[in-house]
Chain A
């Protein structure tokens, strides 16, 4: 068999190459990385409305009254202009409400993006949801986690998790080094130029028109493996006496919430805690919002995976509506018209759900900071 290396010098060169490549995330310190803004510019529209997120973190500078942050469930569920209008009416001044959301769940992404936002803007109330809904990892972590500047957030994690984030940083390294040589030009938020936005990116590129929210014009898709959505049919359930959203805090332990003890991956709990500490440091009120799930439309209580105040180690508020009274009077087919799949609300669902939870979110706006 031919030897792998023709000489020891060749083996040494290969070892050196491997060593340099593997050590790059540790070698490239914070000062040598491209500006943080490049972690967003590099992503385009394909994986979420990242040009909008970049704009909100690095360009718009005013304080945010309410920020909806998180992955796709919150991106598609909240009619942000509606909430902004209601808050403006309540405050008697133009309020600033924004959705800053993306594709791919995980408390790691929530922590990293919130960290960037709070470094640049003051947020009064931050609304998020349970990011541990899927086992898939947020693929944008390879851009968002840069070992040279984010390594300290890994303290306390097991070696396997640390290795995973180190590898994410390694995968992102060629992009980072290229950004040093040739910075990415930020994508335009609004463009009518033909071909500027790819057809399947259009769903996200509408976010700037809706203050960051994405209204899905998709009918129901029962197929969990690929997109097979029914045509979108506008539908608005008749206005009946829907019950208002329930609020749970440690001082007001509402009986509508039920907490189980499902295991939470260690890394999720770790970044959830980091996220809460970050909010506390910046005096930002935390509200966790519960979204309906088509599999649980008969539930008479709001089932939470774990007792979140213990995971976050903070006196946060939880907001939600038990599914059974929320959908009372609607047939299964009518309920499906509100969803684009079993977990994501479409535009019908967004218009149905937002007015139901807005009063609770506005009530919490006035409550004292809850840490």
Chain B
């Protein structure tokens, strides 16, 4: 039975594992938001003014 699969001893480990995956997703979303929120010329400075 599934409730027997994880003992009380294993529960904290399971929570930590899940928290790690949640952290990966949250941090990836923060990084994505930072990139999408910024103007593209921050990443390629020379393109904008090289013709000037």
On A, residues with C-beta under 8 Å from B are 8, 11-12, 14-15, 18-19, 22, 46-48, 72, 103-104, 136-137, 139-142, 160, 163-164, 166-168, 170-171, 200, 203, 226-227, 344
Contact = CB atoms under 8 A, between A and B. Distances in A.
B49 interface: yes
Given A15-B27, A170-B34, A136 B20 contact: no
A139 B51 CA distance: 15
A11 B37 contact: no
The 10 closest A-B pairs by CB, nearest first: A139-B45, A227-B51, A18-B27, A137-B39, A103-B49, A167-B34, A139-B41, A15-B23, A167-B38, A8-B17
Majority DSSP secondary structure for residues of A touching B: helix
B45 A11 contact: no
Interface residues of B, number: 27
Nearest to A223: B51
Interface of B: 16-17, 20-21, 23-24, 27-28, 30-31, 33-35, 37-39, 41-46, 48-52
Contact of A160 (B37, B45, B51): B37
Contacts of B38: 163-164, 167-168, 171
B48 A166 contact: no
Contacts of B45: 47, 139-140, 142
A315 to B, nearest CB: 33
A160 B48 CA distance: 23
Contact of A167 (B21, B37, B49): B37
A22 B41 contact: no
Given A14-B24, A15-B27, A168-B42, 17 more contacts: A8-B17, A15-B23, A18-B28, A19-B23, A22-B27, A46-B46, A47-B46, A72-B49, A72-B52, A104-B48, A160-B37, A163-B33, A164-B39, A167-B38, A226-B51, A227-B51, A227-B52
28 contacts: A11-B21, A11-B24, A12-B20, A15-B27, A18-B31, A22-B34, A47-B46, A48-B49, A72-B49, A103-B49, A104-B49, A136-B48, A137-B39, A137-B42, A139-B42, A139-B49, A142-B42, A163-B33, A163-B38, A164-B38, A166-B34, A167-B34, A167-B38, A170-B34, A200-B50, A203-B52, A227-B51, A227-B52
